[in-house]
Amino acid sequence: MPSIINICGARPNFMKIAPLMRAYGAHSGIDPLLIHTGQHYDKNMSDLFFKQLGIPEPDLNLGIGSGSHAVQTAQIMTAFEQVCLERKPDWVLVVGDVNSTIACGMVAVKMGIRLAHVEAGLRSFDRGMPEEVNRVLTDSISDLLFVTEPSGLENLKREGVPDEKVHFVGNVMIDTLLANREKAEASTVLTDLGLEPRGYNVATLHRPSNVDNPEIFGGIIDALEHVQRDRPIVFPMHPRTVANLEKLGLKQRIDGLAGLRVVEPLGYLDFLKLTANANVVLTDSGGIQEETTILGVWCLTLRENTERPVTIDQGTNTLVGIDPRAIIAAYDQRTGQPASGRTPDKWDGKAAERIARILAAQS
Ligand code: UD1
């Protein structure tokens, strides 16, 4: 019976770990443990997701919290090494591309524990992005690599990862979306905010490359100013973005836009209902590009690259960059138009089950 320590740490990890913890239950051959690194700790960034997604209480929370990349990564590694010494798992499973992912992955392989990576193979080819560094490093040391889309298979092949380590299983984030769509219908977020379906837009921004530089962030606000004149924007704001608005002196500009509504980070179900009924979503998130593809809602990605090209080739996503003129032009083309896209292969709600089956067959 393989014992598996499963790692989660930051908000986008919780949606990925939820269906896995559920799928293990169907395989009596798996002995799972859940460790939260504590990278995210606010109620709205963590607890709420455990509650809404029915994730079991973590067996342990390392309580690491925020810090520079080196401090956060090092502290997770030091604390997680102790856990591995005590628990002696056969496998460590990590998801996504956050600092918790690479920190725990490195600890595992150096202790001779096998490593599984869920959401392997994605590449933005932009090493300036901390997540890209985490992805490349984690994939290069993993023993099992679970891939969400065809580009991941191509990237891993090009990098020389042996085929027998790689499994195209689909997308666990979409497992969670499909499992919660009906539940999200009951969310009162639209009435609470006084919104009509398709009568508003959603924005999310948190990448350092967008919100740490006053010219870039200011340019994006120029574009949002145009967009909110067409339809109001709801902007659930990441704590990092809130802090930067003050720091960069942009808060007054945002406050001055009557159609731009900044709200606290939302729980999973409210956010799902909000995006599912939006006219256009403007974002720099990775996961939201995938979710809008399944929801059939236009997504404008305010970045120069994406590690999730299937959302462009098959879904509703467009890479628009950060030039305000390009954002405005793309928005004007899409507003009020029905979005069309296809469901990528194996984004069918069964990815976690496929992963659990493969893990159960390991020693
Ligand atoms: C992290 C991930 C990013 C992911 C994002 C989702 C890395 C390198 N980045 O970025 O890939 O898209 O999570 O949100 O792992 N903070 C709080 N409360 C919290 C968590 C964070 O206030 O619960 C604030 C702190 O000021 C902290 C800052 O947000 O310094 C950044 O948090 P951090 O975990 O370092 O990175 P994210 O920007 O959240």
Total structural domains in the chain?
Answer: 2
Q: Is residue 34 part of a domain?
A: yes
State whether residue 144 is helix, strand or coil.
Answer: strand
pLDDT at 29: 84
pLDDT at 356: 96
Q: Is residue 288 part of a domain?
A: yes
> Do 194 and 124 sit in the same domain of this protein?
no
Q: Is residue 315 part of a domain?
A: yes
Q: Is residue 285 part of a domain?
A: yes
Q: What is the DSSP string of 49-109?
A: HHHHHTPPPPSEE-------HHHHHHHHHHHHHHHHHHH--SEEEEETTSHHHHHHHHHHH
pLDDT at 26: 84
Name residues contacting ligand 1 (CB within 6 A): 10-12, 39-42, 45, 66, 97-99, 130-131, 206, 238-240, 243
> Do 12 and 153 sit in the same domain of this protein?
yes
**What residue numbers bound the domain in which 101 lies?**
3-171+347-360
> Do 166 and 193 sit in the same domain of this protein?
no
> Do 236 and 146 sit in the same domain of this protein?
no
pLDDT at 340: 87
Q: How far is the CA of 217 from the centre of ligand 1 (A)?
A: 18
> Do 127 and 50 sit in the same domain of this protein?
yes
> Do 23 and 151 sit in the same domain of this protein?
yes
pLDDT at 95: 98
Domain containing residue 280: CATH number: 3.40.50.2000
> Do 112 and 62 sit in the same domain of this protein?
yes
Asked about 206 being catalytic, the answer comes back as yes
pLDDT at 27: 82
> Do 74 and 121 sit in the same domain of this protein?
yes
* End-to-end Cα distance, the chain: 7
pLDDT at 249: 96
Helices (DSSP H) in 205-250: which residue ranges?
A: 208-211, 214-230, 239-247
Using the atom order of ligand 1, give the atom closest to the CA of residue 243. 26
Residue-by-residue pLDDT tens, the chain, 363 positions: 799 999 999 999 999 999 999 999 988 789 999 999 999 999 999 999 999 999 999 999 999 999 999 999 999 999 999 999 999 999 999 999 999 999 999 999 999 999 999 999 999 999 999 999 999 999 999 999 999 999 999 999 999 999 999 999 999 999 999 999 999 999 999 999 999 999 999 999 999 999 999 999 999 999 999 999 999 999 999 999 999 999 999 999 999 999 999 999 999 999 999 999 999 999 999 999 999 999 999 999 999 999 999 999 999 999 999 999 999 999 999 999 999 899 999 999 999 999 999 999 997
Q: Is residue 271 part of a domain?
A: yes
The active-site residue out of 117, 206, 226, 238 is 206
For residue 291, which of 118, 173, 125, 130 has the smallest C-alpha distance?
173
The residue whose CB lies within 8 Å of the most ligand 1 atoms, and thus the one to mutate among 206, 207, 291, 306, is 206
> Do 147 and 223 sit in the same domain of this protein?
no
> Do 204 and 265 sit in the same domain of this protein?
yes
For residue 58, which of 47, 67, 69 has the smallest C-alpha distance?
47
Q: Is residue 130 part of a domain?
A: yes
The residue whose CB lies within 8 Å of the most ligand 1 atoms, and thus the one to mutate among 98, 127, 285, 288, is 98
pLDDT at 30: 92
> Do 39 and 157 sit in the same domain of this protein?
yes
Q: How far is the CA of 40 from the centre of ligand 1 (A)?
A: 6
Cβ atoms within 10 Å of 116's Cβ, excluding its own: 26
> Do 132 and 221 sit in the same domain of this protein?
no
Helices (DSSP H) in 248-286: which residue ranges?
A: 251-255, 268-276
DSSP 126: -
Q: What is the mean pLDDT of the chain?
A: 97
Q: Is residue 15 part of a domain?
A: yes
Using the atom order of ligand 1, give the atom closest to the CA of residue 100. 15
Q: How far is the CA of 103 from the centre of ligand 1 (A)?
A: 15
Q: Is residue 287 part of a domain?
A: yes
Cβ atoms within 10 Å of 18's Cβ, excluding its own: 26
